[in-house]
Each structure stands twice: as structure tokens, then as C-alpha cells.
Copies of this chain bind each other. A is one copy, B any other.
């Protein structure tokens, strides 16, 4: 796994605090460094500890396991908390600007990972059920730190960031459809059929257009079923139409070449002429030209 150095500089202000060779520098090298065997071993151990601590949280939430092994799980929970606290303190001690690290994205996650168990000590028995569930949530965020380490993740994130404008446009069209068609269904079906308010109808519209289709709310009137059918074809069609059309076109062209049913000089897709001798792809739209020209 290649280390993503770019992302670390941006998100993770971790210049060393102490002079070269001092204890700070050696600890810093182990915790933040990737070039020494100790540094790499530390990373692997840290990833393992993060995954195991998450597993403890998950197992603890299952009623049968949580009650049968309560003691063991509680002990493991404290073990990991202490471990991550020591690591957190070590990071703060070996970094030049501890405050800046503590306020960075991953610094906050590090702190939130260890806080819950301490908080549960301070608030001993009050609303135990709710507290415990919320605190478990915070510990799960430790897993965000893992993505720091791998290049493909940062590339994927950059790809998403680059396309964000088109994504926004696309999603806003979908949300407008959800709002308008959801309101239509609210009027057509009404609360007596489950569509108790416009937000609920919008929730149903999303369930339907994303083709999830729980079935907790379904249309009962004929008009409602017709509108719902339109919405389903829309949500599914947004997936099917582009892929099906693109692929069908590519294959159809290949078929037509073999059957020799194509005319020669005009691009079928956009109608333009004047292509280079020997040109095979249309200069105007990139589609394959329908037939080879005689002189190639």
C-alpha cells in the first residue's frame, strides 16, 4: 500500500517537536513515520487495534453477547481506551504544534475515540441505555483514520471532488422530482393510505425512485399506482437508459459494418462530413464512422 503523503500534509499537521535523535524524535518516527520497520509495525498494530476495538463495540450491542460477556467486553473496552489515550498523548507530545493537531480533523477523531468511556464513568447510571448507545457511535469513527494510509482512497476522494458540480446538478434534479411527485402522491393518495404528510410522501418517493421499495407505504388508488409506475420507470430508467443505449449503439455499429448496410461519408451520429481519408472516428462527436473509405 503506497502511503498518501499529500493527504497527510493537508489533513494531518505532524511536524516533529523535538531535535533529531532525541526521544521525541524517535517516538515521532515510530508513530508518524513510515520509513522504518518500527514505524510500519506501529501502523499495522494500530490498524489491528482500531478494528478490534470496533469489533468489541459491535459485539457489545448484541443483547445475548453483551450480557453473557459483559465483564470481558468491559475490560477490553478499557484496554483499548487506555491504549488509544497513550497513543493520543504520545502524538501530542511529539508534535511541534500540539494545539493545531488537536484541532485538526484526525486530532478530533482521536479525542472523540477515547472520550466516551471516560464520560461513562462521570455519568454513572443516568439514562444508561441512551448514553451507551450514543457513546458507542463515537467510537466507530476511529475507522476514518484508516483511509489516511492508502493512496487509492485519496484518489477516489479527489475524483469525487472534481465531479462535484455535475453531481450537485444531477442530485438536485432528482430531489426536485422527489418533492413534486411526492407532493402529488400526498394529494392523490392522502393520509388514509399512509401518505400522512409531504415529508413522509417524499420519503416514500425516495424509497420508490431509488428502487429500494420497502413496501411500508404503497399506493392504493389506481391513479396513485399509475404515478408510482411512472416514478419507478424514471428511477430505474436513469440507470438503464444510458447504459443500454450506449452499449446497443456500439454493438449495432459493429453488426452493420459486417452486413455492409451503411453509407459512407457522413457521420451517422451528428451528420457532419469532410472527414480525413482513413479517418475512422468522427471529428465532431467521436462516434465510429460507419464504413471504411475506399482508399485506406
Contact = CB atoms under 8 A, between A and B. Distances in A.
Interface of A: 6, 54, 57-58, 61-63, 133-134, 136-137, 140-141, 143, 147, 150, 152-153, 155-156, 158-163, 165-167, 169-171, 173-174, 176, 179-180, 183-184, 186-187, 190-191, 196-200, 202-203, 206-216, 218, 222, 225-226, 228-229, 232-233, 235-258, 261, 269-270, 272, 274, 276, 278-286, 288-289, 291-292, 296
B150 A169 contact: yes
Given A156-B252, A233-B210, A255-B162, A261 B6 contact: yes
A225 to B, nearest CB: 5
Contact of A166 (B183, B212, B245, B286): B245
Contact of A244 (B150, B170, B190, B209): B170
Nearest to A134: B187
30 contacts: A57-B198, A58-B202, A61-B198, A62-B198, A63-B191, A133-B187, A136-B183, A143-B179, A152-B165, A155-B252, A156-B170, A159-B247, A159-B251, A167-B241, A170-B240, A170-B244, A170-B245, A210-B211, A210-B233, A212-B236, A214-B218, A241-B247, A242-B244, A250-B285, A254-B270, A257-B270, A257-B285, A280-B283, A280-B286, A283-B289
Given A198-B57, A214-B213, A280-B283, A180 B141 contact: yes
Given A200-B225, A206-B233, A281-B286, 12 more contacts: A63-B196, A133-B187, A133-B190, A140-B179, A161-B255, A166-B241, A170-B241, A212-B212, A214-B214, A238-B240, A254-B285, A280-B281
Contacts of A280: 279, 281-284, 286
B137 A184 contact: yes
Contacts of A251: 159-160, 162-163
Contacts of A57: 183, 198
Nearest to A168: B152
B162 A198 contact: no
Copies in the assembly, this chain? 4
Contacts of A235: 210, 212, 236
Contacts of A225: 199-200, 203
